[in-house]
Structure 1
């Protein structure tokens, strides 16, 4: 089965890794057809194991190889497609749209946090099919009140985010 691993915290805050090395760690852990998409930690691969088994195997392999506490989220082709198909906002050159990959129920935690935060003009959030989407004006992602909340340590093992355009690129490599 084809999967995508979405790694959390790659190439930010001092956790730097080359995607060729990450791919090699995946291959050494028994994954097949391994390729990376962008430098933000999106690894497409094949395996006969379940997503739950893969999460354990790959987090351990990544943690040992790179000497950091790895967090990753494994999604099947069908699950990855749902992130792309569910986008609730219209594309706009002045806005970024993010989707969040994470543990079951994290979308509700994110919505609670978003509703408590001060929003910029055109900043919105919506849950579609248990997936949290966030629209934010370009240039405000890290400076927004909600953007700062996303960096909380209590959320680091719960989710990771990607610009929705990343899902389109991942899907093309999964086909």
Structure 2
């Protein structure tokens, strides 16, 4: 079965790794057909193992190899397609659209945080099929109130975010 592993905190705040090294860790952990998409930690691979087992195996392998506390979220090809297909926002060159890959029910935590944050014009959050989507004007991602919440240490094992365009690249690699 084809999967994508979404790694959290890769190549930010001092956690630097080459994707070729990450792919080798996946290979050494028994994964097949491995490739990376962008330097933000998106690894497409094949395995006959279940998602929960893959998460444990790969987090342990990554943590040991790179000497950091690895958090990753494994999604099947079908689940990965749903992130792309359910995007509720229109494409706009002045806006970024992010989606959040994470633990079950994390979309509710994110929506609560979003609802309680100050918003800029055109900033929106929406849940579609248990996936949280966030639209924010370009240049405001890290400055927005909600953007600052995303770095909370208490949420680090709950989710990771990706620009919606990343999913298009991942799906091309999975096909």
Give the TM bin, normalised by the shorter chain.
Answer: over 0.9
- Determine the C-alpha separation between the residues in 2 that align with 1:14 and 1:135: 27
1:38 Cα deviation after fit: 0.4
Q: Which residue of 2 aligns with 1:95?
A: 95
- Determine the C-alpha separation between the residues in 1 that align with 2:31 and 2:148: 35
Taking structure 2 as the reference length, the TM-score comes to 1.00
Taking structure 1 as the reference length, the TM-score comes to 1.00
2:110 is paired with a residue whose SS is helix
1:125 Cα deviation after fit: 0.2
- Determine the C-alpha separation between the residues in 2 that align with 1:32 and 1:75: 15
Q: Which residue of 1 aligns with 2:47?
A: 47
1:60 is paired with a residue whose SS is helix
Structural RMSD (CA): 0.3
1:9 Cα deviation after fit: 0.2
Which segments of 5 or more consecutive residues in structure 2 lack a partner in the other structure?
A: none
Q: Which residue of 2 aligns with 1:67?
A: 67
- Determine the C-alpha separation between the residues in 2 that align with 1:83 and 1:20: 25
1:100 Cα deviation after fit: 0.2
Tell me how many residue pairs correspond in the alignment: 175
2:170 is aligned with 1:170: yes
- Determine the C-alpha separation between the residues in 1 that align with 2:115 and 2:77: 31
Q: Which residue of 1 aligns with 2:143?
A: 143
1:48 Cα deviation after fit: 0.4
Q: Which residue of 2 aligns with 1:81?
A: 81
- Determine the C-alpha separation between the residues in 2 that align with 1:95 and 1:128: 19
Structure 1 residue runs of 4 or more that deviate by more than 4 Å after TM superposition: none
2:140 is paired with a residue whose SS is coil
Instruction: Spell out, residue by residue over 1:70-103, the C-alpha distance to the aligned partner (whole angstroms, 9 max, x if none).
Output: 0000000000000000000000000000000000
1:126 Cα deviation after fit: 0.1
